[in-house]
Every structure is written in structure tokens, then in C-alpha cells.
Structure 1
Amino acid sequence: MTDFLKKEDKFTYAEAGEGRPIIVLHGLMGALSNFNETFNFFSKRGYKVLIPELPLYTLPILKTNVKNLASFLHDFIEYKQLKDVILLGNSLGGHIALYYTKHYSQDIAALVLTGSSGLYENSMGNNYPRRGDKDFVRRKTQEVFYDQSIATEELVDQVYDVINDRNTLVKTLAIAKSAVRHNMANDLPNMQQPSCIIWGKNDTVTPPEVANDFHRLLPDSDLFWIDKCGHAAMMEHPEEFNQILEKWFNQRNL
């Protein structure tokens, strides 16, 4: 994906393809590379796929929250002069997509949520985060996936580095607390956009009942399950994830 990275104004982002824009929003511990397969797949099928690097650790601490991350997304959409956008978000990225849609619904053609926060999620537990305890970080990173082998040492190191740095740790906690404050349950019934919910049946971070609640509360939603799958369906089962989404796009004329 590094071949597609651009740096313009205050934005660093990956972009490829032409057509209706899909903006992909990564999670709190996620990287742009988590969406490699989805990025490559849809950028070759008539979509312009963009993945902005969210300023999780560069905003002032008092502005490190869901609201200002959505404001950053608004700046990005305006900068790129995008219309009729599909927002695709995993975990925190889904939450930002929902908050954005609440405030700027005119920009959004459709929503795609996978393992999204916004209603309820399990954090790393009461002991999170333990600085310097790499075994703890490894276990918690593995719990994100049904297939724990996906939690490579490189991925564990990325998470470990975030919570072992005081600046990124404080901002990680600020965003997590902000996500709890910005519960979207009362707002979802007002979101009329077609919504595709793709969920891992074995997600322990945002368990299956969360997906059912999103499906119940969003007026125009379809729910799809992926078996033997945890919190990051686009990483664990990218082919199935992409096939579900492409079929849904076709059914919805998106």
C-alpha cells in the first residue's frame, strides 16, 4: 500500500481507483495495511478507495475524541471534494463513520460497519493498559482474532509501542473514554442511508449482540455473518468480506 500513499496539506492517505468514493476508516490500534485486500479489490472494480491516516496521536489532548476525528474526516472530504461517499469503518473507524453521518448526512451514500464501536465494546480489560508487560499485550492482541496466528509479532510490537509511549497511551485512553461518552443508540434510527453490517461470529471485542443491535436500530440495514472470525473480518477473511460487500453494493446499486 505504500506505493499509493500521498501527503497533501495536513493529510496522509492511500488512494487508488476511479469511481464512487469509498473512504475506509481504521480503528484505534489499526493501520492502513489492515485493509490491504479490500483496498486492492475495490479500487479495481469501479471505486475510488481512500484510506486517510487518522490523527489519533497528533491532536491536542483536549481535542482527542470522536467529535474531532469526525471533524478531521469532514476536512478530508471537503479537501478531496468528494460527494456521495461510502464510509467503511472498523471498530473506532465505524464509530467515527456513524458520528460523521449524524452531522453530515448529506455527504454519505451508504455505511459499511464491521466490528464497529458506538454501542458497546469490551476494552482490554480492567488492567488495561499494562506498560512494559508484553505478554499481556500479546494475549490481548490475539483475542482480537479467532485465528490467533494473525497476531504476528510485528502486530504485537505495534500495539506494545503505542501503550508504552506516554503520549500515545494518554491519547489512546482519551479516545476510548470519548467513544463511551458518544453512544450512538439514540441517533441510529435517524440514519436513513443503506447500511451493510459485516460481523465476525466470534468477535469478543464487539460481540454478536452488538451487530444485532446495530441491525435493529439502523432503519435500512442488512446484516451478514462471517464464521470463525473475530473483530477484524477484513483481515481474517478478506475474500469473503469483499465478496459479501461487492454483492451488497450490486444489490443496492452503489
Structure 2
Amino acid sequence: MESFKSEGNGIPILFISGLFAGDWIWGDVTSYFSKTQYTIIRLREPLSAYGHKISELREMLIQFLNESIKDKAIVIGNSLGGLLAMDLASSIPEKVAAIVVSGAPGMGSTNLGIGPPKMGSKEESKKWFGDLREKLFVNRQCVTDEQLDLVSEFFSDRRSFLNMIRLAKEADKYDAKSILPKIECPILLLWGDQDKVSPIEPWKSSIPLNPQIQLKVIENSGHSPMMEKPREFWESIESFIKSVLVHHT
């Protein structure tokens, strides 16, 4: 199976999700985008499917951008995907026109109070991710039992599970403040105001690090506002993209 799936014909937008969820977290948001104006590209699986080091994930994404994108793409990432969006903008600026970062790690560790996951049965895994859902979302109903089953089944695979643990530890030590000043393209920080995994406050304090940073806070939303408030998330991205295009034409 191909790692990426693409639809549309226009400005390329690459969506990268995080450790736990596949491309389905972007489903509602991408449904709003005109497929004649944009080419929507989504990484199919959680990042844990593709490696156990951030450097491995970076190289995979760099290879894709170099081989598949003629000019530049807009990169949108949630959680660890947001961190990778920043990493790509810094590493290959010639391929990244702008980035949207949501719920990224990199501003210190966070204790969610549910302990680390343990390798076990699918039911044990589903219970842990069910507890995690309570921490991640304001509106828990935006994640269905079927989606929870997908996540639990994915992490019943030992390799995927160990990759998740290793990547989570590495992300916990990542210093986003060291990379933000190096990014030359426009940056939109698009955050849920009730994100307990990656709280917004440290990111607000990072704004002076780069004059390219814009901040948009989505109210009554947690770690994944693209699922809880998809229309508002899309409207924020659309407005940002249009401002970027105007600035560069």
C-alpha cells in the first residue's frame, strides 16, 4: 500500500497526523477544500508505522517532497506531525511554502495522569486509548468506537507499539524553541484552547522568536481541533493560505 494518498489538482497541501491516528483525523477538514484549487495529500497511517526516530520520519517526508512535489507544498501537522512540519520547513525550505502547526510537542513534557501504555491485548489497548480520549478531547463523541478500534488494532502490533514509545520519548525532549527562529516561511500556530497534551501558553510565549508566526486559538477544543471544530479549523487554514498567496504574488 502506498504511504500517501492524494486527491485534487492544485496547490499541494500535505497533512501529517501524529503517533496514534491515521489520515482519518483530517477527513472532515479536507472535505471542505476545493479539489480543483488544492491537491490534498495525506499520510495514511500513524507516524509510528514509519519508523522509531524523528530523523527517519524526516527523511521519509523529505524524499516524498523531493520526488513528488514540483515546486513547494503547504505542510499541515497535528501533534508529532506538527513538529515534523516545523522540522521540514527548517530542513528543506525550498520545498515548503508555509506550515500550519497544531498541538505539537516541543515545549516541555506533560503528564496526562494515565501512565504510559503497556503492550497487551487489544482490549487492554482499547481501554488505555479510551482513557486517553478523555484527556485529548473536549467533545469525546468526535472519536467513534470504530476509530478507537482502528487505533487499538494498529498498536496491537509490537513494532508499531515500540515505535510509538520511542518516538514519544524523543518528542518529549525536542526543543521547538531552537528550531522556530530558523524557519523562513509563514507559520500558523492553530491550537485548541483546552489542549492538555501540548498546552497553548508556552507557544504563545514563542511568538517573538519568529516574525513569521501567526497564532489562532480555537475555543472549546482540545488536542485535535481538526476533529472537534473541523469547519473553524478549515476556515483558519483557508484564510492563512490566501494571505500567504497574496504575499507571494
Tell me the TM-score normalized by structure 1: 0.86
Q: Which residue pairs with 2:184 in the alignment? A: 192
Q: 1:77 aligns with which of 53, 65, 69?
A: 65
Letter in 2 for 1:185: K
Query: Per the alignment, do residues 18 and 248 of structure 1 end up closer, same or farther by CA in structure 2, a change over 3 Å counting?
Result: same
Is 1:114 the counterpart of 2:106? The answer is no
Matches within 5 A, 1:115-154: 115-122=103-110, 125=113, 127-130=115-118, 131-132=120-121, 133=124, 134-154=126-146
Contact 2:17 2:23 in 1 (8 A): yes
Letter in 2 for 1:65: K
How many positions carry a matched residue from both structures? 242
Contact 1:55 1:69 in 2 (8 A): no
State the 1:124 CA deviation: 5.0
Gaps of 5+ in 2: none
Is 1:42 the counterpart of 2:30? The answer is no
State the alpha-carbon separation in 2 of the partners of residues 197 and 57 from structure 1.
23
State the alpha-carbon separation in 2 of the partners of residues 57 and 248 from structure 1.
29
Q: 1:92 aligns with which of 69, 80, 84?
A: 80
Contact 2:20 2:46 in 1 (8 A): no
Q: Superposition RMSD on alpha carbons, in Å?
A: 2.2
Is 1:225 the counterpart of 2:213? The answer is no
Q: Which residue pairs with 1:51 in the alignment? A: 42
Q: 2:164 aligns with which of 162, 165, 172?
A: 172
Letter in 2 for 1:190: K
Q: Deviations over 1:11-67 (max 9, x none)?
A: 4222112222111111111211110122222243611111123574455xxx52111
Letter in 1 for 2:14: I
Q: Which residue pairs with 1:22 in the alignment? A: 13
State the alpha-carbon separation in 2 of the partners of residues 220 and 165 from structure 1.
41
Tell me the TM-score normalized by structure 2: 0.87
State the alpha-carbon separation in 2 of the partners of residues 88 and 135 from structure 1.
29
Contact 2:90 2:184 in 1 (8 A): no
Query: Per the alignment, do residues 214 and 15 of structure 1 end up closer, same or farther by CA in structure 2, a change over 3 Å counting?
Result: farther
Q: Deviations over 1:216-240 (max 9, x none)?
A: 4333111111111011111111111
State the 1:199 CA deviation: 0.7
Greater RCO (Cα-Cα under 8 Å, separation 6 or more): 2
State the 1:163 CA deviation: 4.0
Report the 3-state secondary structure (helix = DSSP H, G, I; strand = E; otherwise coil) of the residue aligned with 1:203: coil
Query: Per the alignment, do residues 54 and 126 of structure 1 end up closer, same or farther by CA in structure 2, a change over 3 Å counting?
Result: same
State the alpha-carbon separation in 1 of the partners of residues 163 and 39 from structure 2.
31
Contact 1:201 1:230 in 2 (8 A): yes
Letter in 2 for 1:248: F
Query: Per the alignment, do residues 27 and 190 of structure 1 end up closer, same or farther by CA in structure 2, a change over 3 Å counting?
Result: same
Is 1:246 the counterpart of 2:234? The answer is no
Contact 1:87 1:111 in 2 (8 A): yes
Is 1:155 the counterpart of 2:147? The answer is yes
Contact 1:200 1:208 in 2 (8 A): yes
